[in-house]
Structure formats: structure tokens, C-alpha cells
């Protein structure tokens, strides 16, 4: 049986290395692969799931919101965020879920040093990954969120959705043209794809931030984007997207197979990925 991660582009994805390691470990007869597709191919994939020819699939750019019209139902995570990154079958219905936000929050809880107290978040981007992250954060005991995005309309839509759907009102718009981050925001998160290509960078100024601030890029390949390099030059705490990738993958794996990936296997997986990316 097959599983995929779909997107365009998709060749950079490390998801097959993660899931095939776990499938082998748990002796599950299935294989996970990348699949670069056009939107017109989405109905065919969903139909294969109906016929049990496909177990499920993960979704990355640019289909996290496009997929909504092709599936039967959204679970709570996807319904609230309005974005899907995992498609699975439950009681003969095709469901969409969002594990991005859960993976990100788990990373904050499990992988960041305990001494770093995070309250105020500066979020860059308002796409599918951002939606999952923002909605999951707003359910936690956080201070406030400042959101910036090249498209002001998309940023405002996300802010309105958060206020309407879960009643979190401490989320504000930050002008894309204003490159300075206010000092009270002690975690900065890049949720965009800027940085996947060599030399790409986000024009943001870190000068106002305290040295205890965390700069987080959800990109994991490369391990150090230009965004993180710039933050490192300012001696700020930096983290890439490896932990989030592995933790959101674990949630997807459980949706497909009902199997929990333990912390030991999660850490071994992260070490393997880092080794591969450093080769």
C-alpha cells in the first residue's frame, strides 16, 4: 500500500525518510513517497483512497487550502485553521486534518530549552502552515501575536478568522514594510517558503530584539536558512524546522495507523535527518 506527500515543488521533502523508517520499525507493509502533482490530479488521489488503493497523503505547498473542496469532511484541527496537511480515511469518509500546529506546539513544549519563556509571537506569513500554527498557539496560554504578510488581505483574513472562530483577540497586523520587530516579541517564526532556495532571505531587522529571543524557521532543508544565519550573526537563539517536521509527521502517522511514535524513536529520526542533510 502507498502513502504520499504531495506538492509542487516537492523533491526537497524529507517526509519519506521519516515515514519509511517508522513503517519499517513497526513492521507495517506500506511505502511512502513524494508525488509532484497538479491540482487536476487531486480528485484522482482522493478516489484511490475511496477504493482503498491509497492509505492517505500529506500535503504541502500549494495545496493545503485547495484540497478542501475535494474531501468529505474536516476534523477539528483543519476546520478551525481552514488548512489541511494530512488526508486520512475514517469510517469510509475522507477526512482532512492539520498536524502543523500540533507539531509546532509540541516542539515548543518538548524541544526548546525550559529556560526560554515564550509569551509574544511575531509570525511571518499567513498561508496554510501559518494557519495551523497560529490557531494552535491561540489555544495556549500566550500573550499576543503580531502577524505580518506580503498580502495584507490574507493576513487580515487570518486575523478575522482567529477572532471569530476561537475568540482570541490579541492578534494584530504588522505592516510588511515595517522591517523592525518590537522588542516585546520574544519569538519570531517564519512560516513562509522563503529560504528553500539558496540565497533567498526575508528582509526583517532583528536589532530591537533581546538576546533571549528565539528565531524559528519552519524550513528544515537547508538546516540553516539565510533568515537563521542573519539571526545567528546577532547571537540570538535559532531553531530550524526539523523538530516540527518530525512531530507533525508523528501525528499524521497516528491518524493513518493508530500507532504512537515514542520519544526515543522521534529523537533517533531527528538525528538521522540532520545527518542526511549535513552530508
CA distance 157 to 171: 12
CA distance 107 to 195: 21
Q: How many residues does the chain have?
A: 279
In 3-state terms, what secondary structure has residue 32? strand
Q: Provide the β-strand partners of residue 58.
A: 5, 86
Burial class (CB in 10 A: 0-12, 13-18, 19+), 11: exposed
How many other β-carbons are positioned within 10 Å of the β-carbon of residue 51? 7
Task: Show the cell assigned to 24.
Answer: 519499517
Would you give the DSSP letter of residue 70? G
CA distance 188 to 212: 12
Nearest partner of 125 among 173, 80, 185, 190, judged by Cα: 190
Q: Tell me if 216 sits within 8 A of 189, measured CB to CB.
A: yes
For 244, the enclosing helix (H) or strand (E) is: helix 242-257
Would you call 64 a catalytic residue per the annotation?
A: yes
Q: Tell me if 81 sits within 8 A of 101, measured CB to CB.
A: yes
Residue tagged active-site, from 2, 27, 64, 275: 64
Q: Provide the β-strand partners of residue 90.
A: 93
Q: Which residues are catalytic?
A: 64
Amino acid at each position: 500500500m502507498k502513502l504520499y506527500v504531495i506538492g509542487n515543488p516537492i523533491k526537497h521533502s524529507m517526509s519519506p525518510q521519516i515515514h519509511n523508517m517508522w513503517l519499517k520499525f513497526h513492521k507495517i507493509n506500506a511505502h511512502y513517497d513524494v508525488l509532484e502533482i497538479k491540482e487536476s490530479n487531486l480528485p484522482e488521489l482522493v478516489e484511490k483512497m475511496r477504493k482503498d488503493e491509497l492509505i492517505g497523503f500529506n500535503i504541502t505547498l500549494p495545496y493545503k487550502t485547495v484540497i478542501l473542496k475535494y474531501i468529505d469532511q474536516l476534523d477539528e484541527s483543519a476546520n478551525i485553521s481552514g488548512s489541511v496537511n494530512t488526508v486520512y480515511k475514517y469510517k469510509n469518509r475522507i477526512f482532512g486534518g492539520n498536524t502543523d500546529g500540533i507539531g509546532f506546539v509540541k516542539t515548543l513544549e518538548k524541544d526548546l530549552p525550559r529556560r526560554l519563556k515564550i509569551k509574544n509571537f511575531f509570525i511571518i506569513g499567513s498561508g496554510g502552515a501559518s494557519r495551523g500554527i497560529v490557531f494552535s498557539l491561540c489555544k495556549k496560554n500566550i500573550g499576543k501575536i503580531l502577524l505580518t504578510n506580503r498580502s495584507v488581505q490574507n493576513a487580515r483574513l487570518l486575523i478575522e478568522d482567529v477572532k471569530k472562530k476561537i475568540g482570541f483577540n490579541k492578534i494584530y497586523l504588522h505592516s510588511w514594510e515595517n522591517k523592525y520587530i518590537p522588542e516585546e516579541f520574544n519569538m519570531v517564526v517564519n512560516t513562509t517558503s522563503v529560504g528553500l532556495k539558496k540565497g533567498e532571505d526575508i528582509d526583517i531587522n532583528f536589532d530591537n530584539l533581546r538576546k533571549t529571543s528565539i528565531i524559528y524557521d519552519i524550513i528544515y532543508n537547508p538546516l540553516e536558512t539565510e533568515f537563521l544565519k542573519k539571526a545567528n550573526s546577532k547571537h540570538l537563539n535559532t531553531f530550524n524546522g526539523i523538530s516540527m517536521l518530525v512531530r507533525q509527521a508523528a501525528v499524521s502517522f497516528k491518524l493513518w495507523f493508530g500507532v504512537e511514535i515514542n520519544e526515543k524513536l522521534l529523537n533517533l529520526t531527528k538525528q538521522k535527518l540532520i545527518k542526511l542533510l549535513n552530508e
